[in-house]
Structures are given as C-alpha cells and as structure tokens.
Amino acid sequence: MVVIAGGLAIDVGTDLPGQALLSLAVWLVLFHVLARVETHERRALLACMVIATAGELFLSLVWGLYTYRLGNVPLFVPAGHVMLLVLATGVAHRMSERAALVILGAAAAYACAAAAAGIDTFALPLFAMLALIAIAMPLHRRLYASTFLVALALELYGTWLGNWTWVRDVPALALVTTNPPAIASAFYAVLDAIVVCTTLLVARRFGGGARVALRGQ
C-alpha cells in the first residue's frame, strides 16, 4: 500500500517523462513481488495485470468514465492493480465472513440511498455486479469484500490528489454518479472474480486441478 499511495502522491507533480520514471520504479517493485511468490500465485497476478489493463483502456479511453490527469493510462497502473490484489488477498485472509457481509451490506445501503436521492444512480448497477459475484462465488466473498474496501480507499485517495477525475454523467447511459462513485470499487471486485475464473481454467489446463491461485483463499 505504501508503494501505491506514494506513487500516486509523486505522480501528481510530474509530467510524462517523470511519470515514465515513476512507472519504471513501480514495475521494479512488482518484479520483486512476482519473484517471491509461487508459480500458481504468479499466474493469478499476471492474469490480473492483463485483464486490468484491458479494463482500464476500455473504461477510461473508450467508455470515458474517468480521465487520468495527463489524458493517458499511466504505465504504473497495471502494476498497481497487481499490488492491490496482493494487498486485498492479505486482508481477506484476516477478514471474517461476518465482516465481509457487513461491508457488502453497507455498500447495498449506500447504493439504494444514493440512487433514491438522485446523487448516484450509477451505484445500483455497480452494486448489482458486486452482489452477483458475491452470490455466485460465495467461497471468495471475503476477497470481494476486502477488494471493495481497499479499492474504495484508493479511489478516494487518488481522486482527492487529482490523479484522475470521474465524469458526472455516465456516457451512453441515462445515469449520474459522483467523483469518485462510492461503488466504483465494484469494478475491482469483478476483476478479482474474472481472475479467479481464469486461474482455475489455467490450473486445470496445466494439471493443477481446481486449486485457486490466490493467497489466503
């Protein structure tokens, strides 16, 4: 978390060359992390990086839900997603099932209240995605709840610093949201679900059975 928070704080004061140097430093940290994990965990983290990068390109540059400070997708972002997954799995390992349900319940309450008040109608479909994966994959509910919580802190922090800005009117949909959407971290939880499914398929392909390649799960 120190690398992510520190990197975002440094990024707001840089231009493109400075951002490139920052990205190089973050990637070096990521390579160190990848060298220290087991093969099945490394596959999960690499899957996270590929899927998250595709998601960032679509959500920011194609859909236009948010815009990074320099109008690009910074090169440190894919590495940051991997580090966030490492952090979230560690938190999930220490989280009780009851705590996970409380987090998801609070997200549901906010989504309903914000939509009813008209300040964030985008919250309901975002929470619907979160609820769907939590119900469909209950064994990983703690991971989704921990990712939601950690990513929410990241979204609030990055938006406060000015690393990125979310739009008020959701493109192509008659919905509005806040900057950042309080349920935006549902995107991260969905990413985790896709990573879980991907690594299960990879594990079966390489003879690893149904073992889930996520620490603490």
Q: Residue with structure tokens 């950042």?
A: 180
Reply yes or no on whether the pLDDT at 213 is more than 70: no
Give residue-wise pLDDT tens across range 61-95. 999 999 999 999 999 999 999 999 999 999 999 99
pLDDT (average), residues 151-172: 97
Name, in order, each residue with C-beta under 8 angstroms of 93's C-beta and a sequence gap of 6 or more: 215, 216, 217
Contacts of 65 (CB under 8 A, 6+ apart): 59, 166, 167, 170, 171
Residue 206 pLDDT grade (very low, low, confident, very high; cuts 50, 70, 90): low
CA distance 31 to 217: 23
Determine which of 151-165, 167-181, 197-211 has the lowest per-residue pLDDT on average: 197-211
Residue 200, pLDDT score: 77
Residue closest to 142 by CA, chosen among 74, 83, 92? 92
pLDDT at 87: 94
**Token pair belonging to 151:** 């990513």
Would you mind telling me the total number of residues written for the chain in this entry?
217
- Quote the radius of gyration of the chain (alpha carbons, Å): 17
Confidence of residue 201 (pLDDT cuts 50, 70, 90): confident
Mean pLDDT of the chain: 92
Q: Cβ atoms within 10 A of the Cβ of 10, count?
A: 16
Phi-psi region of 172 (alpha: psi -120 to 50; beta: other; left: phi over 0): left
Tell me: pLDDT of 98 over 50.
Answer: yes
What's the confidence (pLDDT) of residue 197? 87
Range from 18-27, 29-38, 62-71, 146-155 carrying the lowest mean pLDDT: 29-38
Whether pLDDT at 117 is above 60: yes
* Average confidence (pLDDT) over 183-207: 85
Spatial CA neighbour of 84 closest among 126, 40, 51? 51
Looking at 95-140, list the stretches that DSSP marks H as alpha helix, in order from N- to C-terminal side: 97-117, 123-136
Predicted confidence at residue 209, as pLDDT, reads 41
